Amino acid sequence: MQFSELGLGPEVLQAISEVGYTTPTPIQEKAIPWVLQGRDVLGCAQTGTGKTASFTLPMIEILAQGRARARMPRSLILEPTRELAAQVADNFEIYGKYHKLNMALLIGGESFGDQVKKLERGVDVLIATPGRMIDLFERGNILLSDIKILVIDEADRMLDMGFIPDIERIVGLLPKLRQTLFFSATMPPEIRRLADQFLMNPREITVAPPASPAATVTQALAVAYDEDKRKVLRHLLQTEDVKNAFIFCNRKKDVGILHQSLSRHGFNAGALHGDMVQSKRTETLEAFKQGSIDLLVCSDVAARGIDIKGVSHVFNFDVPFNAEDYVHRIGRTGRAGLTGRAFTIAAPEDGRLVQAIEKLIGREIPRVLIDGLETPELEFEESGRGRRRPRRKDEGRKEEGRKSEPRSARPPRSRAADRTEAGDSAAATPVPEERAARPERSERSVRARPERTDRPVQDRPERPVREDRPREDRRSRFADRGEDRRRRRDEDDDRTPVIGFGDDVPAFILRAARPVRPAALPDSDAEG
Ligand code: AMP
């Protein structure tokens, strides 16, 4: 099928051909004609499928008719993160270059003044994160009564980040008569309920099985003691042909620590997480896109939708708490048909998280061994948390000692490690044949100061031993989704409110109450 068969006008077709797209992707093929007819769409699609163009292209066409009035936007696109919102705005500019549509981007961390000025002039397309949208509405800067098209993008991410109450509130402020386009990578029951609530007779479009990692990404998993994880990462960065890479951590503070550590070891790295000021976030992302930073240590704020072509690697320095996040993280590589490699570094206590990921993706992630490091077993019981590498007799001789140690003297390898495709080979490589065929490391190495390769690990900023960490922290890996959501909101949003007792709910409130039945009433009346 050709773009010209979808019902798009000549200006949009011209813009598409200038971008270089030749054929529509499956979601574009299915969604665009329906959106042009004014129908609601429920799209189950991952980022990387071309879903942004599937709603921006027909929106440009529809909005080309009519004009916006001051403070009364005509369409609203809600995105979970500032980066995604900015990316959608870029798309609008590219595809809408032959139209005179006004667009405003309302995201946290940027001046209210400029955003309000734009709204005053009248905007056709408003792209916003939920928090900033509500702030501006409450200040009386926006009237939502003229919204004709609503897009809710990355709905499952919104759920993870705790944005659903905000979304429900915003949708309650919109006209009932409108067109709604709702996209989510996965469709858990909570998302399905929202879709039922917001959409009217939608066309349901599923373009890829939810949560299937890109077939172009080669995956591998290394198991290491917590205190060895940075060494494993450095080893991988040195032995893999890394052009550029996202390195994901679960916690913002660990992003900072790892970034410092990599910089000290001579790697050209930047950091990105939700606590940074927006100008720094934008600057760092731009530097990574332009190639002036090779490694981007980041939180899950960068896991979804960030579209940077040609990223060679993704490293999960921590196994993500939610299995779906694994799929999103590794989807930052292997984009647009290119190949990519994704390595996950798991601590022994991450067994259950790894299990959940493997269940979700329907296969085992091949294990790799790291030369000179012990490979502990993955543990599947909560009690195993925080286990440190057992002390050996030669403790203190540190790395040199370990490296020269004969393999037979080391503790036996784990069963998991035995499954590695690399067998006994020392390299941390999931597909050795492929490696052998690859050229030598590219000239543009990610390492700036190779002479520091063997720098001992003593200079690592020490984290407290896990046993010493606060109880809530130890509990959190196995926390329920609700708790996860609160943490994720904190991850990406600076406005984390404390609701009720916050996390300090007294135990008696959590205890289930026995139903009280009035003794005097017969059973049938008590039902009412
Ligand atoms: P998205 O899923 O919207 O994040 O899009 C992923 C990537 O696919 C973006 O880099 C788009 O520029 C690109 N893309 C979107 N539509 C097409 C198309 N029809 N042909 C080729 N690339 C496309």
Could you tell me the distance, in angstroms and rounded to a whole number, from the CA of residue 91 to the centre of ligand 1? Answer: 10
Query: By alpha-carbon position, which residue is closest to atom 19 of ligand 1?
Result: 24
- In the block, tokens 């994160």 appear at 129
According to DSSP, residue 314 is labeled: E
Q: Within 6 Å (CB) of ligand 1, which residues are found?
A: 21, 24-25, 28, 47-53, 305, 307, 336
From CA 291, how far away is CA 301, in angstroms rounded?
A: 20
How far is 524 from 528, CA to CA, in rounded Å?
Answer: 8
Residue appearing with tokens 């369409």? 75
Q: What is the largest CA-CA distance in the chain?
A: 86
- List the residue whose alpha carbon is closest to atom 13 of ligand 1: 50
In 10 A of CB 499, how many CB atoms?
A: 10
Backbone angles phi, psi at 265, to 5 degrees: -85, 10
Nearest-CA residue for atom 6 of ligand 1: 48
Q: How many CA atoms lie within 13 A of 137 on its CB side?
A: 21
Atom 21 in ligand 1: which residue has the minimum CA distance? 21
Atom 18 of ligand 1, residue of closest alpha carbon: 21
CA of 144 to the centre of ligand 1 (A): 30
Phi-psi domain of 476 (left: phi exceeds 0; alpha: psi -120 through 50; beta: other): alpha
Total residue length of the chain: 528
Q: Please give the structure tokens belonging to residue 263.
A: 């910089």
Nearest CA to ligand 1 atom 23: 50
State the Cα angle at 212 between 206 and 214, rounded to 5°: 110
d(CA 465, ligand 1 centre) in Å: 44
Separation of 157 CA from ligand 1 center, angstroms? 20
Structure tokens at 335: 């984009």
* Per-residue pLDDT tens over the stretch 277-321: 888 888 999 999 999 999 999 998 877 767 788 899 999 999 999
The CB density around residue 283, as the number of other CB atoms within 10 Å, is 14
Beta strand extents in 227-300 (DSSP E only): 245-248, 269-272, 295-298
Which ligand 1 atom minimizes the distance to the CA of 19? 12
Report how far Cα 232 is from the mean position of its chain's Cα atoms.
Answer: 23
Consecutive H or E run containing 270? strand 269-272
CA torsion sign for 422, 425, 427, 428 is positive
Query: By 3-state DSSP, what share of the chain in percent is helix, strand and coil, each rounded to 5?
Result: 40, 10, 45
Instruction: Residue 482: count other Cβ atoms within 10 Å of its Cβ.
Output: 9
CATH number of 217-361: 3.40.50.300
Fold classification of 3-206 is Rossmann fold (3.40.50)
Nearest CA residue ID for atom 17, ligand 1: 50
- For 36-66, how does the pLDDT look when each residue is reduced to its tens digit (9 = 90+)? 999 999 999 877 788 999 999 999 999 999 8
CA proximity to 49, closest of 183, 156, 226: 183
pLDDT value of position 524: 31
pLDDT of residue 278: 82
Q: Which residue, judged by its Cα, is nearest atom 22 of ligand 1? A: 21
What is residue 101's predicted lDDT score, i.e. its pLDDT?
93
Residue 48 alpha carbon to ligand 1 centre in Å: 6
What is the structure's pLDDT at 154? 93
Q: What is the pTM of this model?
A: 0.58
Residues 6+ apart with CB under 8 A from 115: 104, 105, 106, 132, 136, 141
Residue that is written with structure tokens 């530097």 in the block: 287
Which residue ranges make up each domain of the chain? 3-206, 217-361
Mutate to test the pocket of ligand 1, among 6, 16, 21 (most ligand atoms within 8 A of CB): 21
Token pair 């620590």: residue: 257
d(CA 478, CA 321): 8
3-206 and 217-361 share one fold? yes
Ligand 1 nearest-atom number relative to CA 52: 3
Nearest CA, atom 11, ligand 1: 50
Q: List per-residue pLDDT tens for the chain, 528 residues long.
A: 899 999 999 999 999 999 888 889 999 999 999 999 999 999 998 777 889 999 999 999 999 998 888 889 999 999 999 989 999 999 999 999 999 899 999 998 778 888 889 899 999 999 999 999 999 999 998 999 999 999 999 999 899 889 999 999 999 999 999 999 999 988 999 999 999 999 999 999 998 654 566 678 999 999 999 999 999 999 999 999 999 999 999 999 999 999 999 999 999 999 999 888 888 888 999 999 999 999 999 998 877 767 788 899 999 999 999 888 898 899 888 876 678 999 999 999 999 999 999 998 889 999 999 888 888 999 987 654 555 666 655 544 443 333 333 333 333 333 333 333 232 233 344 433 333 333 333 333 454 333 333 333 333 333 333 333 333 333 333 333 444 444 344 334 333 343 444 444 455 555 555 544 443 333 332 222
Q: What's the CA gap between 272 and 252, in Å, rounded?
A: 9
Helix (H) or strand (E) segment spanning residue 232 = helix 229-239
Give me the helix-helix angle, 82-95 and 51-63, nearest 10°. Answer: 50
Ligand 1 atom at minimum distance from 24 CA: 19
Q: Say how far apart CA 444 and CA 438 lie, in whole Å.
A: 15
Q: How far does residue 244's CA lie from ligand 1's centre (Å)?
A: 21
| Residue type present at position 100 | K
Nearest CA to ligand 1 atom 14: 50
Tokens found for residue 364? 């085992």
Rounded Cα distance, 63 and 75, in Å: 8
In angstroms, what is the span from residue 49 Cα to ligand 1's centroid?
Answer: 6
- Protein residue whose Cα sits closest to atom 16 of ligand 1: 50
Hey, what are 321's tokens?
Answer: 């708490």
> Per DSSP, which regions of 328-477 are E strands?
340-346, 367-368
Contacts of 210 (CB under 8 A, 6+ apart): 44, 46, 185, 186, 187
Interval between CA 47 and ligand 1 midpoint (Å)? 9
Backbone dihedral region for residue 229 (phi beyond 0: left; psi -120 to 50: alpha; all else: beta): alpha
297, β-bridge pairs? 247, 271
Atom of ligand 1 nearest to the CA of 305: 4
- What is the SS3 assignment for 182-217? EEECCCCHHHHHHHHHHCCCCEEEECCCCCCCCCCE
Which residues have CB under 8 Å from 222's CB, separation 6+? 232, 236, 343, 344, 345, 346, 367, 368, 369, 370, 375, 428
CA of 53 from ligand 1 middle (Å) equals 7
Q: How many other C-beta atoms lie within 10 A of the C-beta of residue 489? A: 18
Atom of ligand 1 minimally distant from the CA of 91? 12
Q: Rounded to 5 degrees, what angle do the CA atoms 504, 509, 514 make?
A: 165
Expressed in angstroms and rounded, the spacing between residue 205 Cα and the centre of ligand 1 is 17
For ligand 1, atom 10, the nearest C-alpha belongs to 307
Give 148 Cα–ligand 1 centroid separation in angstroms.
25
| Residue 341 to residue 217: CA distance in whole angstroms | 5
Round to whole Å and give the CA distance between 208 and 185. Answer: 9
Tell me which of 46, 49, 52 to substitute to probe ligand 1's pocket, judged by most ligand atoms within 8 Å of the beta carbon: 52
DSSP element (H, E) containing 84: helix 82-95
77, 124 in Cβ contact below 8 A?
A: no
> What end-to-end distance do the CA atoms of the chain give, in Å?
59
Mutate which of 23, 25, 289 for ligand 1? The one with the most ligand atoms within 8 Å of its CB, which is 25
CA–centroid distance, residue 458 to ligand 1 (Å): 45
